[in-house]
Amino acid sequence: MNLRQLKYFVGVVEAGNMTRAADQLHVAQTALGMQIRQLEEDLGVALLVRHSRGVEPTKAGGLLHARALAILKEVEETRKDVRACEREESEAIRFGITPALMLVCGTEIAITVREQLPNVFLSIVEAMSHVLTETLARGEVDFILCYDVPDLPQFSRTALLQDDLVLITPPRAGSGTPIPFVEVLEEDIAMPEEGDSVRTVVAHTARDLGLELKVAYEVRSISAMKSLVMRGAASAILPYFAALDEVRAGKLDARPITMPSLKRTLFLASSKQHGPFKNEAGLTGAVRSSLTGLLDALGPLAQPLWVRTA
């Protein structure tokens, strides 16, 4: 006796006719009849009385009909309860990440979370670091992966790595060699708008040294900045990973900046106002795991701020 046979038997009793029951159950009449016969053989009793008007249950069939209704109802309620339990255990997380990081590790983060945290639904939002910080403060995202998150009472921050900015130029003499910060400021520089983490680091460093920062092109898009550089119209100050592919292809050159170097800190941050997430520790682990390849690519230009395991 199985659930399909019980469902078919209930359908036959309530329809009172094999042909009508077969239509309602969307099954061939011969297959339906075979299932009922197997049920009767398994129980060793006749369950239906067949007559010219159709069928009706025997005494044993009446008892089975009542019990089958209860069994099928219990099965359906169990199915609903189990699904509801799964929904209760699932957790939706809105995750903000910068466009540059999205290109180099965003996909890896999404896949790692899916594999390691199957109960987490990750919704990813891209924006510049300063925009993500404001978005987190407004409660529009739950976690952000971005640079130089301010130390505010409402934020919880985990420092992940620190990396050095580089000067991105067209290929030319001095390729790949370090360049003093004071010489960087002599370039025609393309930079994002004020408030961006890269521009903030550069502007504060220039101010501390009593130097003037002149921005030739104000552009938010990293791809647009790289396009300006490839055309020879400007240079750009970027994280090395933002131009890694073009540097490897020989289309751009990356020069480490010295005296002083320009460092930023990457944080995974959340808002204390929204309480803890069940999968917060798992998310942090997945993000760290996804950054391993980035750290390897950056080499000496980046330092992890947690203990890496093999």
Cα–Cα distance between 154 and 150 in angstroms, integer? Answer: 10
Query: 164 or 77: which carries more pLDDT confidence?
Result: 164
pLDDT, position 308: 42
- Higher per-residue pLDDT: 135 or 174: 135
Tell me the residue type at 95: F
Phi first, then psi, for residue 176 (nearest 5°) are 80, -5
Tokens of 274: 């929204």
For residues 68-96, average pLDDT: 79
Q: Pull the structure tokens for residue 264.
A: 């930023």
Mean pLDDT of 41-45: 91
227: confidence class by pLDDT, cuts 50, 70, 90: very high
Kindly report the average pLDDT of the chain as a whole number.
90
Neighbours of 257 (CB within 10 A): 22
**In the predicted model, what is the mean pLDDT of residues 141-160?**
93
DSSP state of 17: S
Q: What distance in Å separates the CA atoms of residue 200 and residue 215, rounded to the nearest whole number?
A: 13
Q: How many other CB atoms are found less than 10 A from the CB of residue 21? A: 24
Q: What percentage of the chain has pLDDT greater than the value 70?
A: 96
Q: How many CB atoms lie within 10 A of CB 128?
A: 23
The yes-or-no verdict on residue 191 having pLDDT over 90 is yes
Which residue from 301, 227, 210, 217 is spatially nearest to 264, judged by alpha carbons?
301
The mean pLDDT of 264-292, rounded to a whole number, is 89
Rounded Cα distance, 33 and 22, in Å: 9
Q: Per-residue confidence at 85, pLDDT binned at 50, 70, 90?
A: low
Residue 146 predicted with pLDDT over 80 = yes
Residues 48 and 61 sit within 8 Å (Cβ to Cβ) = yes
Greatest CA separation for the chain: 105
**What is the pTM assigned to this prediction?**
0.67
Task: For each of the domains in the chain, give its residue range(s) and CATH number, in order of start.
Answer: 3-88 (1.10.10.10), 91-304 (3.40.190.290)
Q: Which two tokens stand for residue 175?
A: 């390729």
